[in-house]
Amino acid sequence: MKNYKYAMLTAVGALSIAFFCISCVNEKHEESTTASETAQTKSDFPYDLSKPVKHNMPQSLFEISGIVFNNGDPKQVYAIQDEDGDLFYLGLEDKEAKFTKFGGKGDYEDLAILKNQVIVLKSNGEFHIFPLSEINKPEAANVQKVKDLLPKGEYEGLAADEAIGKIYALTKASKADDKEKATRIYAFSMANDGTLKADGEFSLPYHEIAKTSGSKKLNFKPSALSQNKNTNEWYILSSVNKMILVTDANFKIKSVVPLKGDDFNQPEGIAFDKDNTLYISNEGGTLSAGNILEFKLKK
Distance set, CA 122 to CA 18, 39, 75, 193 (Å): 60, 37, 26, 20
Tell me if 195 sits within 8 A of 204, measured CB to CB. Answer: no
**If DSSP codes are grouped into helix, strand and coil, which group holds residue 142?**
coil
**Residues 170-177: contacts with CB within 8 Å, 24+ apart?**
170/110, 170/222, 170/224, 170/225, 170/236, 171/222, 172/123, 172/221, 172/222, 172/223, 173/221, 176/151, 177/153
Rounded CA-CA distance 244/127 in Å is 25
pLDDT of residue 42: 52
Residue 17 confidence (pLDDT) above 90: no
Terminal CA-to-CA distance of the chain, rounded, Å?
A: 75
Work out the number of other CB atoms within 10 angstroms of the CB of residue 280. 27
pLDDT tens, position by position, 158-206? 999 999 999 999 999 999 899 999 999 999 999 988 899 999 999 999 9
Rounded CA-CA distance 187/165 in Å is 10
Rounded CA-CA distance 38/213 in Å is 8
pLDDT tens, position by position, 80-121? 998 999 999 999 999 999 999 999 999 999 999 999 999 999
> pLDDT above 70 covers what percent of the chain?
86
Tell me if 140 sits within 8 A of 100, measured CB to CB. Answer: yes
The answer to whether the predicted template modeling score (pTM) of the entire model surpasses 0.95 is no
pLDDT tens, position by position, 23-62? 444 444 433 334 334 433 455 899 999 999 999 999 999 9
